[in-house]
């Protein structure tokens, strides 16, 4: 029963994450990036601590070591990840960013082989190369345009975001086995917002401009979505997935994100949708899914 719950929660979490790419793509064109990140996690933390208070859940963290881990995971999974991720959206599409994010299971296999000093399997290397080809099909390179360097910059920033996310999931697993998931998430959002605020003091007063902007309704709608749904609810679901399934299997659900983001971007912000992109998404999804299932089968054998 726990595995069924874990699979449902991991899927729901990553599905909301997928739509989050589109919402953030809208916001980065309207607000300073550091302000977006501060607002989303500050509001999410207030909401989560309110829920904890209403339910009478003790959110005291007595261990100094655990407090330091919470600060670290808040920095990695909220502040650092979203800084790299948001800046990447200045140069690449939401669909491409989501597609790169779905490579997490394959990248995790590479990281595991390095940490455990094991030889990388040829099959995993082959799947990784195939997935890179799928990413290439989705990249919007226009013939004769001078956007090559910008796209490469965006891809590099997104890969840095993925590195921060992988470190976050590894560090978060220890905390999630020891404390209530909502407690961990509330502190991670709080510390992530405070850390981001330290880098946003020069633009903090721009928040007042939100209410005078011509797109005020669009901004507020997306801030609400990324704060309460994509931050609080999605992270809660995803952390429950990690608790019930572990990091590796939960990460495999990132496979569902590219397709959801591709269609969400098409319907909500009018991004192009063609056969080439669909094939690219299918190739990456298939490669990462095969890698995850193969790895799980070999562990259980």
Residue that wins the pLDDT comparison between 131 and 112: 131
pLDDT at 144 over 60: no
Q: What is the 3-state secondary structure (H, E, C) of 196-208?
A: HHHCCCCCHHHHH
Whole-number pLDDT of residue 269: 80
Whole-number pLDDT of residue 119: 61
pLDDT at 145 over 60: no
pLDDT at 191 over 90: yes
Residue that wins the pLDDT comparison between 192 and 294: 192
Say which residues have a Cβ less than 8 Å from residue 251's Cβ, sequence separation at least 6: 104, 105, 108, 169, 292
Tell me: the pLDDT tens digits for 2-17? 777 778 888 888 889 8
Contact by Cβ (8 Å): 250, 10: yes
Whole-number pLDDT of residue 251: 67
For the full predicted model, state whether its pTM sits above 0.85: no
Instruction: Return d(Cα 100, Cα 112) in angstroms, integer.
Output: 19
Instruction: Quickly state the pLDDT bin for 274 (edges 50, 70, 90).
Output: confident
Burial grade of 27 (CB within 10 A; 0-12, 13-18, 19 or more): buried
Mean pLDDT of the residues in the chain: 80
Whole-number pLDDT of residue 143: 45
């Amino acid at each position: 029963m726990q595995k069924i719950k874990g699979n449902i929660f991991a899927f729901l979490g990553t599905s909301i994450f997928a739509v989050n790419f589109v919402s953030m793509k809208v916001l980065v064109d309207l607000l300073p990036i550091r302000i977006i990140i501060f607002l989303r996690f500050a509001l999410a933390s207030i909401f989560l601590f309110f829920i904890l208070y209403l339910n009478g859940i003790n959110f005291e963290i007595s261990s100094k070591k655990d407090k330091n881990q919470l600060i670290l995971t808040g920095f990695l999974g909220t502040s650092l990840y979203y800084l790299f991720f948001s800046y990447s959206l200045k140069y690449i599409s939401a669909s491409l960013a989501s597609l790169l994010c779905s490579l997490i299971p394959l990248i995790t296999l590479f990281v595991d082989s390095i940490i455990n000093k094991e030889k990388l399997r040829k099959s995993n290397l082959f799947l990784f190369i195939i997935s890179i080809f799928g990413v290439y099909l989705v990249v919007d390179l226009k013939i004769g345009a001078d956007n090559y360097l910008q796209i490469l910059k965006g891809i590099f920033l997104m890969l840095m975001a993925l590195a921060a996310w992988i470190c976050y999931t590894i560090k978060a697993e220890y905390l999630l086995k020891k404390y209530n998931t909502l407690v961990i998430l509330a502190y991670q959002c709080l510390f992530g917002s405070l850390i981001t605020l330290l880098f946003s003091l020069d633009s903090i007063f721009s928040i007042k401009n939100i209410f005078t902007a011509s797109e005020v309704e669009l901004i507020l709608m997306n801030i609400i979505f990324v704060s309460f749904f994509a931050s609080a609810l999605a992270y809660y679901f995803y952390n429950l997935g990690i608790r019930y399934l572990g990091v590796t299997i939960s990460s495999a659900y990132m496979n569902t994100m590219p397709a959801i983001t591709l269609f969400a971007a098409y319907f909500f912000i009018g991004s192009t949708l063609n056969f080439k992109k669909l094939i690219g998404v299918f190739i990456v999804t298939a490669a990462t899914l095969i890698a995850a299932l193969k790895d799980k089968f070999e562990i259980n054998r």
